[in-house]
Amino acid sequence: MTESVYRALLSRPADGVADLAAHLGATEDDVRGALDRLSGLSLVRPASDGIGHLHPVTPEIGLELLLARQQADLAAQQLRVEASRAAAAQLIAEHASLTPRTGSGVERLEGLDRIRDRLGQLTQSVRGEVMTLAPDGAHHPDSIEAAKNLNGEVLGRGVRMRTIYLDSARNSTHTLAYVNWLAARGGQVRTLPTLPTRLIIVDREQAVIPVNSDNSAAAALVLTSPGTLTALCALFDGLWQGANPLGDGPRHDPEGLTDTETAALRLLADGHTDESIAKRLGVSARTVRRITCGLMERLEARSRFEAGVRAAQRNWVS
């Protein structure tokens, strides 16, 4: 029925509900239901006659709109998959933290110095690849200089280095200079608006993950179980596939939202505070408030709650 109504509107754009129902031999309720579905698909819009008629978009534009919607739905599904993988990664870390300090493919590291020493050993022993999730936002110049010495030596040995930073790293002069330095030496760098946890995987054989993502310096685990490594590598590979290469500009979805705006909107809808969103995005709370105000203005919403409702109505969040 929906397709029949759309075809009828293309050939009889001036028809109202009663005329379409008579032409198609259908009830007016059926026609109204079909028009509601077409409106939801953005295949019809209010006509300019001011009497409530709906005007069909052309099939060419309609196809573009449908493809854009499908692309957005696929992206949302991918985000849900990655969120599940991220939750699984955190469960792995939490479960492993309850096991003995050594054995069973788990080594527990207490304190920042012990973590740094172990990371240094792993870096020296790496043979083929290092994969890193770095959810820290801007980096301090001192930590950048220390990382340059270590990573420069690793890249000099021909090791493949892939790192995913937060999008906010692009806004830090020091951090951007460093990641460009990495890229110039063969390191591959991409960014995402949010990351689930800090993670370093060496040669797909050993992974270092914090026990608590909110305090990664307190304790970490070195995991070597094949099943665990398979899951963590799948997490990284999935995130890498959807991440934005460093040389590319900000991405926009079919609604014109940047990745960061979409992530902020989703976190708002989940009930996070400005401070919590700021930490996840690697930006200041002031920046979050600016993003939120911009989104509310675009949605013509007077409150955060109303913005969430309107965003859901427009399928900006899923």
| Residue 31 and residue 217 in contact, taking contact as beta carbons nearer than 8 Å | no
Asked if CATH classification 1.10.10.60 holds for the domain at 259-313, the reply, yes or no, is no
With residue 33 as reference, give the H or E element that holds it: helix 28-40
Which residues lie below 8 Å from residue 285, measured CB to CB, with a gap of 6+? 274, 275, 278
Q: Identity (one letter) of the amino acid at 93?
A: A
Residue predicted with more confidence, 204 or 76: 204
Assigned architecture for domain 68-245: 2-Layer Sandwich (3.30)
Residue predicted with more confidence, 212 or 88: 212
Instruction: Please tell me if the domain spanning 2-57 has the same topology as the one spanning 68-245.
Output: no
Q: What pLDDT score was predicted for residue 136?
A: 76
Q: What pLDDT score was predicted for residue 161?
A: 92
pLDDT digits (tens, 9 = 90+) for 237-295: 888 988 888 777 778 777 788 888 888 888 887 778 888 888 888 888 888 889 888 88
Could you say which DSSP state residue 197 is in?
A: S
Integer Cα distance of 226 and 230 in angstroms: 6
Which residues lie below 8 Å from residue 316, measured CB to CB, with a gap of 6+? 255, 257, 262, 265
Asked whether residue 311 carries a pLDDT value surpassing 90, the answer given is no
| Residue 153 and residue 245 in contact, taking contact as beta carbons nearer than 8 Å | no
pLDDT digits (tens, 9 = 90+) for 291-303: 888 888 888 888 8
Q: What pLDDT score was predicted for residue 202?
A: 93
pLDDT digits (tens, 9 = 90+) for 104-137: 678 888 888 888 888 888 888 899 999 999 887 6
Integer Cα distance of 198 and 214 in angstroms: 10
CATH of 2-57, one of 3.40.35.10, 3.40.50.720, 1.10.10.10, 2.40.160.20: 1.10.10.10
**Which of these ranges, 138-147, 162-171, 231-240, 302-311, has the smallest mean pLDDT?**
138-147
Instruction: Copy the structure tokens of residue 169.
Output: 């790293």
Domain positions in the chain: 2-57, 68-245, 259-313
